[in-house]
A and B are shown apart, each in its own frame.
Chain A
Amino acid sequence: MIELRNLTRHYGEVTAVNDVSLTVQTGQIAVLVGTSGSGKTTLLRLINRLVQPSSGQVLIDGADTASLPVHHLRRRIGYAIQGDGLFPHRTVARNIATVPRLLGWPKSRIDARIDELLALFQLEPAAFRDRMPHQLSGGQAQRVGVARALAAKPDLLLMDEPFGALDSVIRAKAQSDLRDIQRQLGTTIILVTHDIQEAVQLGDRIAVMDRGRVLQYDSPAQILTQPATPFVRDLIGPTERAFRLLSLTGIGPITMPGEAHGTPIARDATLRDALAECLWSGRDALPVQGGGIVTLDALRANAAQDRQ
């Protein structure tokens, strides 16, 4: 569990982070969203002490991080920086091996970990292990950056716009992989993004930041249905809200017994997928793989419920 208590950081006249308090439970993903310059990066850097707070505390599992030697603290916290920040003079493999080597892992374990991570991020180990960073595309470099942050299996992972340079296909894949990895390892993640859809899909909690303050820290559904301020409402985009909400829920709860025609929809599809399929194929009801149906009426009734 990680707790931020009244964190504040001034830069001269600017208050980059202003009295931020929030708690991220172990194994959860907290997503920071907000306009450019709202203090997201500074908040992340306060957590691993790349920036010293002007006031306030960061507690990890109850222990004040100010009491730990910074380099020990940082080796326990994975950090994928905005852009990629790979070491230009080291191969992909050596970059990924950075923290495990600092921690003194045996070579065989490091090598296995490198290949495991490369494969996980769709980078053929044999082809990428020995490449230099300047031989990678922007998206590949970014994935190596995330792999490097994950290398030593940190309990806490800080990610600053980790998927910014990825195309939509790889991005979706990277997001679901991150979810899987996170569930598997129980890693706590604090992730910064500009993409509200990404925040809604990945976040257990979303923190909306504006000019150094956290305006609202809530579950995605809460943020979407009950924005705390007009700023939050505008940021999430009122016209997109209905679709984002639909994408949060699987079709399970509204699946009912019955028969329908046409191509069936996957059991783990979201309400948004179901609505899109109804509209696109002009059907009022869709069969669900493995039995049952989803109807347009049920979708509408569900949306009406959310509105209240």
Chain B
Amino acid sequence: MIGRLLLALAAAFALAFLLSPTSFAVLFQPLTRNGAPAIYTQASLLRLTLFHLGIVALAVLISTAVALALALFVTRPVGREFLPLARTITTIGQTFPPVAVLALAVPVMGFGTGPTLVALILYGLLPVFENALAALTGQPAKVAEAARGMGLTPAQRLWQVDLPLALPLLLAGMRLTAVISLGTATIGSTVAAKTLGEVIIAGLLSSNTAYVVQGGMIVGIIAVLIHAGFQHLERRAARATGQTD
């Protein structure tokens, strides 16, 4: 209950700040020096936030699609032998630093959103893949046996049994990926992607702590909200699939 109240307050605060940043100037004034501006005004914070969210949403969707497809493939009889390979790919995606991905992608794709998207997608594969794998392989043997015994085809088993039962864990994987990507997306601004990283970098370049804090604050609040939103969905999915603990 208290948790919900805090979330609602955080959401209201973030929204008010984004709609009218200058109204909150007094809050950030103490963080500035030599009369520097307290609020970033070179670009609309709301617009930057929406771009930031858009890139993250797209990256999460693509990571999920790729990771889920991989997990499905390696849990079918034809793909079983590719499991170690898929594990290696997703693990490398996670361990290879996103900054290095940017550096490698810019010469190929040019400046802008593209390299950032690639970095985020690679970085986000692992959580979804591992969770989808756990969900698909951890299903009760009796349920799979019943589904086969009643004459569901492999495709019907996939859509009607495997995927619905995997949904809660899949959502948990997406939650991790979304939260990680939200923070990581800020570095996209170093290669001219429009994200909230722009505010933080501007703060670093001009030694204006107020910018750094407001950029970080927005990202932080949104991450907490998205985390809570996914958890809510996971609980609902778990209840709907009779997997309440």
Measuring CB to CB, which residues of chain A are less than 8 angstroms from any residue of chain B?
45, 48, 50, 70-75, 79, 81-89, 98-99, 102, 132-134, 148
Contact = CB atoms under 8 A, between A and B. Distances in A.
Overall SS of chain B's interface: helix
Contact of A87 (B146, B148, B149, B151): B146
Interface of B: 140, 142-143, 145-153, 156, 161, 164-165, 240-244
The 10 nearest A-B residue pairs measured at CB: A85-B146, A74-B151, A89-B241, A75-B151, A88-B242, A79-B149, A85-B142, A71-B151, A132-B242, A134-B242
Nearest to A72: B151
Contact of B146 (A72, A81, A134): A81
A275 to B, nearest CB: 42
B148 A85 contact: no
Contact of A50 (B149, B241, B242): B149
B145 A89 contact: no
Given A71-B152, A98-B152, A134-B244, 10 more contacts: A50-B148, A50-B149, A71-B151, A79-B150, A81-B142, A81-B146, A99-B151, A102-B150, A133-B242, A134-B242
A148 B143 CA distance: 13
A84 B153 contact: no
Contacts of A73: 151
Nearest to B240: A89
Nearest to A44: B149
12 contacts: A50-B148, A71-B152, A74-B151, A75-B151, A79-B146, A81-B142, A85-B142, A85-B149, A87-B143, A88-B143, A89-B161, A99-B150
A126 B56 CA distance: 46
A102 B156 contact: yes
B147 A81 contact: no
A208 B85 CA distance: 49
B142 A84 contact: yes
Nearest to B142: A85
